[in-house]
Amino acid sequence: MTKDIEIIFIDIDGTLTNNKGIITDYTKTVIKTLTKKGIYVIMCSGRANNDLIEKSKIANASPIIISSNGTLIFDYKKDIKIYESKIDFKLLEEIWDFSLENNIDLTFNSIYKRFKTANSRKDATIISNLLKVNENVTQIVAEANSYEAINLLMNFIDKFNSLKYGFPISQHDTSNNVYYELDIYNNKNEKGNAIRILLDYLNINKNFSMGIGDGINDFSMFNVCKYKVAMVNGNKKLKEKADFVTKFNNDEDGVAKFIKNFYKDFMPLL
């Protein structure tokens, strides 16, 4: 079975990175061994494109990534956009106006940039006018200090059949204040859809694929990949759907140790 797998899709947060957001040297070595054997290792995450490129390079993964929960597939080595699902500008305008009225900050993610309405990201271009967004937007990230504001935005998004959102996530800023974050993208997009597109692009049968994840947004990945691996620290229902559950969590190099055992015929002694 191990010799049949040609491509592995790996989530980032709660999966490949530890709880400090770090990819360990142990994990880097294991992934580098896979790619040297000609196995595609694809980072597949809700993170924005530029952020995911950085993580992919650090991890020694393949230079193709699936970012923003499947709205973008990008080969950063060849600078080729394999798939992009942009949000219609008229919808951007409506979300922009609604968010301004309800004290919600927005980040517009594109293939090369982040455009943000407030100065809370060092790597973002700050904008005060939507017309300053000069690239296709594939994902919107909304941030608010109250859950009530995010709930209002979710109710607003529900009016548009072409849009959907992920589950709101509570975060902490540098002062440990709580804020809430919501991802918005086109309705047809999810990790599983992007995986189907990439498998077709690379001419790889899904029976030779593996997906590794921990969260609710990894269900669609499991619906496509032949072999399904859930993190032991992951969502309970995802673990029930998995073929394998890692023995170790994301703070214990769970992905790398699972892969090393799975490919023990050629993995180095680590």
266 has a pLDDT exceeding 70: no
Q: What is the DSSP string of 56-75?
A: HHHHT--SEEEEGGGTEEEE
Residue 8 sits in the same domain as residue 30 = yes
Strand order in the sheet with 72-75: 80-84, 72-75, 64-67, 40-44, 7-10, 209-213, 227-230, 244-245
Residue 182 sits in the same domain as residue 93 = yes
Looking at 153, 186, 219, which one is the last position of a domain? Answer: 186
- What residues have CB less than 8 Å from 109, skipping those under 6 apart? 48, 49, 67, 68, 137, 138, 139, 140, 141
Residue 64 sits in the same domain as residue 153 = no
- Tell whether 270 is covered by a domain: no
Residue 199 sits in the same domain as residue 76 = yes
Percent helix, strand and coil across the chain, each to the nearest 5:
40, 25, 40
For the question of whether the overall pTM of this predicted structure is more than 0.85, the answer is: yes
Q: What's the chain's average pLDDT?
A: 91
Give dist(CA 215, CA 221) in Å, integer: 10
- Mean pLDDT of all residues in 83-95: 96
- Tell whether 269 is covered by a domain: no
Residue 250 sits in the same domain as residue 208 = yes
Residue 64 sits in the same domain as residue 103 = no
Total of domains in the chain: 2
Q: Point out which residues pair with 64 in neighbouring strands.
A: 75
Task: Give pLDDT tens digits for 222-242.
Answer: 999 999 999 999 999 999 999
Instruction: Report residue 236 as tokens.
Output: 């309970």
Residue 178 sits in the same domain as residue 102 = yes
Looking at 158, 186, 214, which one is the last position of a domain? Answer: 186
Structural domain boundaries, residue 132? 89-186
